[in-house]
Structure 1
Amino acid sequence: MVALVSDGVSDFAKDLLQADGWKVELISLLANPNQVRPKRFWGVYTKLKIFNMTRYKKVVYLDADTIVVKSIEDLFQCGRFCANLKHSERLNSGVMVVEPSATLFEDMMRQVNSLPSYTGGDQGFLNSYYADFPNAHLFVPNLSAEIRNSRPQPEMERLSTLYNADVGLYMLANKWMVDERASGHPLHPRPP
């Protein structure tokens, strides 16, 4: 597991992460190009750097406020880009699977100042960048190699609710549609 940390993270916190088994990688922050944005979104574009982690074949990204309750190793079977749709058919960037590419990252950086972001952050940008995402096919884990190799690799796939469920959906709706391995994601705008 890799934790990406900026220079604003204390040495004490980095040491704790390492003691818990994390590989700590230092990264510089990407400035948010949106002048009108919530203050808490000042560094969220830094998340886009996962698309440039080319020393890895695949990256499974989890926001710091997600909770994994069961193995999610099947996410490594996803294609080039996987995320799930949340409210209002919007791509949610809290849980993503990325096949890193310097070319893709450079293309994103060329467009970061011109593509609109409905949130003022990375999630809104990614919704503009992957505008056709709501039409992506659903990711089906554990397909046989024969089936997977018989069709073209999709540019993007949607993750089901199994991988990124709101805590409210899980707790308040009697675990409706939610598998035990779902990653929890809070309903409120800020983690506690």
Structure 2
Amino acid sequence: MKTSSLDNVNKYDSGYEIEDFSLEEVITNENENDNENENEMEETLLEKSMSSHGNKKIKRSKSNSSKRSRIIKIILLIFIISLIIEYIGFNISNKDVNDKLRKYVKIEPTDDLDNYEHWNNTTNNKNAFLIMLTSEGESVDNYYMYTSAIVYRLLHKEEIRTKRNDVDVVVMVTEDVADWKLRGLHNLGAVIKRVHKITMDSAILKNKRWKNCYTKLQMFEMTEYETIVYLDADLFIKKNIDELFDIANDVRNKTGRNDFFGAVTDGPIRDMYNHKENKGMLNAGIMILTPEVTVYNDLLELAPRSNLYNAMFMEQGLLSLYYTDDDNLFNRTRYHLDPRYNAQWLSDSNMEFYDKVYVIHQKLGKVEKAKSQQVQKDIFYSIVEWIQSVNKDKKITISYD
């Protein structure tokens, strides 16, 4: 039986079928809508939740980053402060005894300073102890103290001073040395001789610490003297050393040569004491020499040729080449001076040599303490003696400890 469209309508018109259809359809649609809404809501809530959680994460991350940054800054600040404290503490703890002495040094007035030519007096003496001073600036420096103490001992310390009547104590000073220092040295009895600095090109200058050491070569120009005993400022003279002039005269008379040069080989006193003829680089702390302009010119010509000698040791390397033990190209002889006249590296572990040596090559300072406390005290009190001699009007008590 053919169904008409009306039948379909009628069918939908019947209450049951319509109600049954409508209910299921509505419920199904509503459920689907509800599910969709719920899903949308859940998605929305999830998105919001995730968004909120993400924002919290971002905020937390930013907060953590900020905290870390602050912590790092605090750590860096603490580190910098600790470095500053350590630096200050290091400098305070490492101030050596030179600092203790400098404040007592008398600065000589120079407002009525005589012209230095008047001090460069001609004494007609044929021998000289010679010390070089190149200190720059007006302030009290260690080497001015050391030089003054040596001059004082050579001229005024009874058991040390020269007993000869033909010896000058000369201080060779460069143009940068303050006038008040010249006055102080002159008042002690030193002959002042002005010289110019001899400097080398930076390509030749291997050790800037000793940049002025070539200047001492000008002692070879001082031909007014027959014999010069050169002394570095960082020496402690324990005994009278007048006999150094006799050594030079005796060798000249024996060899028939007019020239003479003597020095101790570079090395610790323990190694050198019984082997003074050891070959090797000489030590330029003490040298005995006959001044010759020819030698001076030779040395100036050789000095820039640093490939020929150990230029790290400046004039010491140069003189070791010129007065070499082997293959002597310059027809010069080198006398091996007894190491007792230039005791190097005398330490508490080899104090058996202490009473045997005449001169100790050592200066004051925290590094030098590692060598010998006894020698450090000796040097300290030799400077105190000089300071006291200059300040005769008042008693000065300075303790090493």
Q: What TM-score does the superposition give when structure 1 sets the normalisation length?
A: 0.78
Residue of structure 2 aligned with 1:4, choices 172, 192, 207: 172
- Alpha-carbon offset, residue 191 of structure 1: 7.4
Measured in 1, the distance between the counterparts of 2:310 and 2:280 equals 15
Partner deviation per Cα, 1:70-128 (whole Å, 9 max, x = no partner): 11111112240000012283200000001001111111112111232342411111112
CA contact (8 A) 2:214 2:314 kept: yes
Query: Gaps spanning 5+ residues in structure 2: where?
Result: 1-168, 252-259, 268-278, 370-401
Q: Which residue is 2:339 aligned to?
A: 161
Q: Which has the larger radius of gyration?
A: 2
- Alpha-carbon offset, residue 49 of structure 1: 0.9
Q: Whose relative contact order is higher, 1 or 2, with alpha carbons under 8 Å and at least 6 apart?
A: 1
CA contact (8 A) 2:346 2:360 kept: no
Residue of structure 2 aligned with 1:41, choices 207, 210, 234: 210
Measured in 1, the distance between the counterparts of 2:212 and 2:294 equals 22
Give the alignment of 1:83-162 within 5 angstroms: 83-87=263-267, 89-114=280-305, 115-132=308-325, 155-162=333-340
Measured in 2, the distance between the counterparts of 1:178 and 1:127 equals 29
Between Structure 1 and Structure 2, how many residues are aligned?
170
- Alpha-carbon offset, residue 171 of structure 1: 4.2
Q: 1:82 to 1:120 in 2, by over 3 A?
A: closer
Q: Which residue is 2:236 aligned to?
A: 67
CA contact (8 A) 1:170 1:176 kept: no
Deviates more, 1:52-61 or 1:77-86: 77-86
Q: What percent identity do the matched residue pairs reach?
A: 29
Q: 1:33 to 1:172 in 2, by over 3 A?
A: farther
Deviates more, 1:2-11 or 1:29-38: 29-38
Query: Gaps spanning 5+ residues in structure 1: where?
Result: 136-153
Deviates more, 1:121-130 or 1:108-117: 108-117
2:222 alignment partner AA: M
Query: Helix, strand or coil: the match of 2:264?
Result: strand
Query: Helix, strand or coil: the match of 1:119?
Result: helix
CA contact (8 A) 1:4 1:27 kept: yes
Q: Which residue is 2:398 aligned to?
A: none
1:131 alignment partner AA: T
Q: 1:64 to 1:106 in 2, by over 3 A?
A: same
Measured in 2, the distance between the counterparts of 1:120 and 1:92 equals 10
Q: Which residue is 1:174 aligned to?
A: 351
Measured in 2, the distance between the counterparts of 1:85 and 1:123 equals 11
Q: 1:157 to 1:17 in 2, by over 3 A?
A: same
CA contact (8 A) 1:162 1:178 kept: no
- Alpha-carbon offset, residue 175 of structure 1: 3.0
Query: Helix, strand or coil: the match of 1:169?
Result: coil
Moved over 3 A (4+): none
Q: Which residue is 1:142 aligned to?
A: none
Q: Which residue is 2:227 aligned to?
A: 58
- Alpha-carbon offset, residue 184 of structure 1: 1.1
Query: Helix, strand or coil: the match of 2:356?
Result: coil
Query: Helix, strand or coil: the match of 1:124?
Result: helix
Tell me whether 1:81 sits opposite 2:250 in the alignment: no
CA contact (8 A) 1:169 1:175 kept: no
Measured in 1, the distance between the counterparts of 2:218 and 2:227 equals 13
**RMSD, aligned α-carbons:** 2.6
Partner deviation per Cα, 1:167-187 (whole Å, 9 max, x = no partner): x4264312338624x211128
Q: Which residue is 1:22 aligned to?
A: 190
Deviates more, 1:124-133 or 1:13-22: 124-133
Measured in 2, the distance between the counterparts of 1:3 and 1:53 equals 12
Q: What TM-score does the superposition give when structure 2 sets the normalisation length?
A: 0.39
Measured in 2, the distance between the counterparts of 1:53 and 1:172 equals 40
